[in-house]
Structure 1
């Protein structure tokens, strides 16, 4: 197998060590020649990079490792860019969550006003990354899992429609892991059917390799327990706020018992509940900064200080295994079946063709080929039409620098009760995002 050259864009992310550890654990599936980190925050990236250099010297000294803030150095010669950027870092995420809560609205990083604010910040940087890749590595693929994935994917479709970019999300992977625990299987034994938008979808089938359908059994369990399981191996989604989210899935199922819901639907179906159970002084951003952020950077400093990687300093990010599978499918034409965010183009028969939908795809050298999910019911279709219109208005607002369209996007969001509240929260978000958003007129 040909050894691959990879750049991780967002090298200073707390997810980077877990992804690198996962790559090292899967060198038999995806051999690596060179691995680079790229970030525009040199100081933050350097801490993780120095620690990872020690890890690589111990575990895979044959891999050429480097880190840089120079896009030419970062992208030249790579086969893949694995992108997970966060424009504005956690400082802005905290505002995304706390400002909407002041108006009695959902404060969440990818859903509602906070997700819209984050999306507006992300578009420009994502397009810049794509342009760097196309300039310095025109044959490379970008595997993008930067949030908010739905808005980023729509921006890529509109602004760089020919770019070799695949947008994806790890949330369905994490939920499938929980489903597999419920029925005593492993995720790789199961094949799913699924439709929706990113963070906004439903499983319609969960079968094993013999064709046995487990959806009714899982549905009965979720109706009682949500996605909470006795076996907890999901290190990414173990914090208290995530445990509450997994539990809330039983109420999502009550509204629509036909299919198994994506947990993020709670922000759209129960926004009042979410606000009531939110602490406006201590949100998910604070939880992450006190938890994963501290753990990862403390581990990095310990590795640098001791000059060696101790047991458990950096943990393998099992969620990120799907990135290896995706890269391998493209590099070696394996025909992997994966849930990806792609232009609809008939995958959902009775839904708008220019929507970026999340559906199962077969992946090979030419990228993803969506599998047709047929017609979808009125309830799900109605919710999706509303949400995809929000996402399209956001991208139009960014392109046209349109205050009006941003106001319309927020007004149309199911998490916002009125046009007045939409305008009030928009004005508050504009005030803190002047450094990142285009000037709206």
Structure 2
């Protein structure tokens, strides 16, 4: 019988939390749970979701001990895993991240460009704080961090807490691989899951390329995917795609133009923000951005479901949904707990995995995961086009972390200026000054 794990979900007030709790419950056959604790510094927000999750757990898995708290010692004592997905400043600050750059004709996005840097400056301190709480109260636990922007947070933890038991992850490639399975079904009628595929991928977080997609028998699936993506991007006929928000439909469709720049590989959709920033700005509404879509969509839906569950005293008829990222987190926890050596895409120090790239860069590449953590697989040398783009972007990420550590206005200005999404130092300074004002309650004071 498999040993049970105690879990702390840091960011208990997130709209993703109910889906993670549900996924943990549904996967107890492979990952048994003894206790789930939600932790958040926003008690009011967390209470609304936690009360609904308590009802759901009582119905589905009453044997699991469940509680929620704002006290770090209570939350982080006696646990095996911290699953962290915090959003510092909530969606009000995401809205600023998106709308301030757009005011100056620059991409406004939560993880890319100046908005991503602003979010990173807010996230570094709280993520380090959670890691320190975990190591103080449960030093043998693992922290599975999927707090955005993952690239900047990963660089910060590498610099500030080297060698600690934290793994930085992102579900975006996982979601796209699931989408690839839908494309293959559209084109061939063949049904696959992403676990039926073996992939090769390299890059930075939200900044990468697939170089191999094949099935377990070694059949090359790249020609099918390339043909579809060259014509339609990642758009497909699956119900999941048809119900996406308009901003995501546009992002998935634009992948055909990103693909055209290097038809030897298959791109991550986020590359559109760097390679076609003029298109993104032209197709953005500076008064209604992705943050507004989420606040009017998922925020209202999930909190509405939670309210209905609490009022009705049952989760029946108001079931939460478990997302792709929740499944990925369970896979990773299983690999660490039970030494499965599963192959997964993770954000890890390069250390020579990509031979012709900065060894200190935090890269997103396939790893084998066992009880000692991730073992990165060798990628070899990468082409000049990708290496050039990645070098610029990794320097942006490093400058942001240095700006946070040193409280340096100069380095933050340099970071924004260096971003491929920003046209000049003048515009970068205008954006930075506005971001400083908007983030005065969250950023360290820059001098």
**TM-score with structure 1 setting the length:** 0.99
1:230 aligns with 2:231: no
1:187 aligns with 2:194: yes
Alignment check: 8 A CA contact 1:10 1:84 kept:
yes
The runs of at least 4 aligned residues of structure 1 exceeding 4 Å deviation read none
Alignment check: 8 A CA contact 1:51 1:301 kept:
yes
1:234 CA drift (Å): 5.9
List aligned pairs for 1:79-228, cutoff 5 A. Answer: 79-184=80-185, 185-228=192-235
Alignment check: 8 A CA contact 1:119 1:148 kept:
yes
Alignment check: 8 A CA contact 1:22 1:318 kept:
no
1:401 aligns with 2:407: yes
1:393 CA drift (Å): 0.3
Render the CA deviation track for 1:176-232: whole Å, top value 9, x for unaligned. Answer: 011111113221100100000000000000010001111121011100010011113
1:335 CA drift (Å): 0.6
- For 2:203 and 2:39, the matched residues in 1 are separated by 32
* RMSD of aligned Cα (Å): 0.9
Alignment check: 8 A CA contact 1:362 1:368 kept:
yes
Match of 2:292 among 279, 286, 291: 286
What residue in structure 2 maps to residue 337 of structure 1? Answer: 343
1:312 CA drift (Å): 4.4
- For 2:30 and 2:104, the matched residues in 1 are separated by 49
Partner secondary structure for residue 115 of structure 1: helix
What residue in structure 2 maps to residue 28 of structure 1? Answer: 29
- For 2:389 and 2:281, the matched residues in 1 are separated by 20
Render the CA deviation track for 1:261-316: whole Å, top value 9, x for unaligned. Answer: 00000000000000000001100000000000000000000000000002343112
- For 2:28 and 2:162, the matched residues in 1 are separated by 32
Render the CA deviation track for 1:367-407: whole Å, top value 9, x for unaligned. Answer: 00000011000000000000000000000010000000000
List aligned pairs for 1:244-393, cutoff 5 A. Answer: 244-393=250-399
**TM-score with structure 2 setting the length:** 0.97
How many aligned residue pairs are there? 440
Alignment check: 8 A CA contact 2:308 2:318 kept:
no
Structure 1: state its 5+ residue gaps.
none
Render the CA deviation track for 1:48-104: whole Å, top value 9, x for unaligned. Answer: 000000000000000000000000000000000000000000110000000100000
Alignment check: 8 A CA contact 2:79 2:138 kept:
yes
Partner secondary structure for residue 65 of structure 1: strand
